[in-house]
Structure 1
Amino acid sequence: MYERKILPNLNCGLDLIGEVLYGKWKIRLLWFINEGHKRPSELQRKIPDATRRVLNMQLNELEDHGLITREIFPVVPPKVEYSLTALGKTLIPVISALGEWGDRNGEQLREVILKRFDK
Structure 2
Amino acid sequence: MEEPNPDENCLIEPLIEAISGKWKLLIIFWLAQETSRFNQLQRNLGKITHRTLTRQLSELQDAGFVTRKDFKTIPPHVEYSLTPLGRSLIPLLQVMHDWAATNAAKLSVQK
- TM class by smaller structure: 0.7 to 0.9
- Cα distance change of structure 1 residues 37 and 85 upon mapping to structure 2, 3 Å threshold: closer
Please name the residue that 1:86 is paired with.
84
Q: For 1:46-90, what per-residue CA distance to the aligned partner results, in whole angstroms no more than 9, with x for missing partners?
A: 011110110110000000000010000111011110111111110
Q: Distance in 2 between matches of 1:57 and 1:95?
A: 21
> Are residues 1:62 and 2:66 paired?
no
TM-score by length of 2: 0.87
Give the share of equivalent positions with the same residue, in percent. 38
Give yes or no for the alignment of 1:14 onto 2:12.
yes
2:22 — aligned with what?
Answer: 24
Q: What's 1:40 paired with?
A: 38
Distance 1:107 1:37 in 2: 32
Deviation at 1:13, TM superposition (A): 2.1
Moved over 4 A (4+): none
Root-mean-square deviation (CA), in Å?
A: 1.2
Distance 2:46 2:88 in 1: 26
Counterpart position of 1:105: 103
Distance 1:100 1:45 in 2: 24
Aligned length: 102
TM-score, length basis structure 1: 0.81
In structure 2, give the amino acid aligned to 1:67. Answer: F
The offset of 1:37, in angstroms, is: 4.6
